[in-house]
Structure 1
């Protein structure tokens, strides 16, 4: 049987976040009251009930103050820097989520974040659950001189798998402090934007991407669309992408401003290797990851800033 230290080490490697946090708290022998006191000493106010919810998996840290608390918990619990943060996928676990399979049970299994808000938006906008799957998705993220995400450009090829359909729903979740009312959605190639719904509290935007034609089982449709943001009040924390089904290719490309580059980028695939990999920033201020054969699960890239 594993002792507490071994259990903690394994939890930090494999996650999920709440189990790793619980294991660390048990291993260090600290009460929630003591953790709350230690956080308060550093000017971070977190309720004991919130800490309890985090370690039970009932809630996950999302806001900037909560993420500061997670970073400080790593220090208080004598854990390696970033070891809890990386288990969130990105420092804000709901990250930025654009997905083509709204409303399906499989989507819920790979999606983190405010599900009530997501479900509400998807219900308001309607959709065709499970009608299409990824044949190819190339995602280009462009950051501004303050390290904020300015634009997300998606080159998307989908394949119809369940009857005829003429659209998908893309869901975008902004970074901490974003203004959902100012996030714009634009169709650039072979599609147009239909209805748009927003949740200003959670920073969510749901948009219909209309193909302009119906596609039947086995047929594909290629398009390009983008989200224009730049409204967050913090540097880009990272990116998270969930895939309910297997198949297809995924490319994530990040272009940083040469004058505002991260100190480190960590890539983590929960599907294969739980250990994060450091991805070097190129001389052109860019990083990318490529998955040639998507498997169900969540991919994440986390950025640390100087």
Structure 2
């Protein structure tokens, strides 16, 4: 009697479907965003490798959208998830950079009992990209509004680069991706973060396998309701690799101004650059002309949604 063959798991089926379609994780992020499902690159990577599984209602909706994007029959992937371990209504937390479970874990680690007390009203992010194509520094200036009296801290999330997140097979990516001597993928060090002005850095949280990094921004004093403050922080280290060239800003509330400024090494400027935005009005992709070794995206009155830049060498 032949032994029973175990059915494919969700990660195996997802990986096979991605390979069959010949798409990158970045392309999947864009396609899902165009359908109204904002999901990060690190979340898709963790699903594909089996480090995490889609469990909440919102995550399962993304899986159903993946079936459509990957030209799969309905329930091909969703039927492999089994019953949810967290039944109930959709999670209403505004933060989902690292997936619902990863975000909730990070908020607990930061001691954020009320992450809504201080909300971002404007954001300006500057990225520095080196000669190899890696994002090595991020500077973020933000204006915050206190929604409750006594608001004194806020979480800041970044989905940083992980070797497992790579979906490229180019020689450049293979050379740039760090590996241990035995071929195993090493755990990456978290980025270095420092406060430049307006706050100090409190607790931090990092999950190397998913790339999620979170930090607590502590204000110099508690704010009164509707009082505002401006903060500036800087992150450095391995933030983004050449295998997935681009950067997204995910905002969960309307921003007065959302700005992304990317500064490339003058010796290597991308061949093409595109701005991509996803919000309730739909998805827009447009060509962006570099000004010297720099490119930017400026979105007044934007959000909730995602906005970012993609470049090709």
TM range (shorter): 0.5 to 0.7
Structure number having the greater strand percentage: 2
TM-score (norm 1): 0.65
Instruction: Sort the Cα spacing of 1:262 and 1:138 in 2 relative to 1 into closer, same or farther, 3 A.
Output: same
Alignment of 1:215-230 (within 5 A): 215-230=223-238
**In the alignment, which of 87, 94, 109 is matched to residue 40 of structure 2?**
94
Query: Which runs of no fewer than 5 residues in structure 1 stay unpaired?
Result: 1-46, 56-60, 75-81, 98-103
Query: Cα gap change, 1:236/1:254 in structure 2, threshold over 3 Å: closer, same or farther?
Result: farther
Q: What is residue 104 of structure 2 aligned with on the other side?
A: 119
State how 1:201-216 maps to structure 2 within 5 Å.
Answer: 201-216=209-224
Tell me which residue corresponds to 1:149. 135
How big is each residue's C-alpha offset from its partner over 1:96-154, in whole Å with a ceiling of 9 and x where there is no partner? 89xxxxxx82525xx35543222212212121321122222110011111110000000
- Other structure's SS at 2:283 match: coil
Let me know the Cα RMSD of the aligned residues: 3.3
Structure 2: 5+ residue runs without aligned partners? 1-7, 34-38, 44-90, 164-177, 179-186
Aligned equivalents of 1:243, 1:144: Cα separation in 2: 26
The answer to whether the 8 A contact 1:148-1:236 is kept is no
Q: Aligned pair in 2 of structure 1 residues 73, 96: CA closer, same or farther (>3 Å)?
A: closer
Contact 1:190 1:224 in 2 (8 A): yes
- Does 2:192 correspond to 1:184? yes
SS in 2 for 1:116: helix
TM-score of the superposition, structure 2-length normalised? 0.64
Q: Would you say how many aligned residue pairs link Structure 1 and Structure 2?
A: 231
Paired residue secondary structure (2:108): helix
Give the 3-state SS of the residue equivalent to 1:280 in structure 2: coil
Question: Which secondary structure state, in structure 2, belongs to the residue aligned with residue 187 of structure 1?
Answer: strand
Sort the Cα spacing of 1:230 and 1:54 in 2 relative to 1 into closer, same or farther, 3 A: closer
Distance 1:197 1:280 in 2: 37
Looking at secondary structure, tell me which structure has more helix per residue: 1
Partner Cα separation in structure 2 for residue 296 and residue 231 of structure 1: 24
